[in-house]
Amino acid sequence: MLKIKLAPRGKKHQISYRIVVSEARSKVDGNFTDDLGFYTPQTKTLTIDNAKLADWQKKGAQITLGVDKLLNPDKYPNKPKAKKTEAKK
Average predicted confidence (pLDDT) for the chain: 91
Superfamily for the 2-65 domain: Ribosomal protein S16 (3.30.1320.10)
Give the other-Cβ count within 10 Å of 17's Cβ.
20
Please give the sequence-ordered ranges of beta strands (E in DSSP) within the chain, or none if there are none: 2-11, 14-23, 34-40, 45-48, 62-63
**Cα(56)–Cα(33) distance, integer angstroms:** 10
Q: Where are the domains of the chain?
A: 2-65
The torsion of the CA quartet 40, 45, 49, 53, rounded to 10 degrees, works out to 70
Question: What is the average per-residue pLDDT within 71-89?
Answer: 83
> What's residue 89's pLDDT?
65
* Tens digits of residue pLDDT in 37-74: 999 999 999 999 999 999 999 999 999 999 999 999 89
> What's residue 58's pLDDT?
96
Alpha-carbon Rg of the chain, whole angstroms? 17
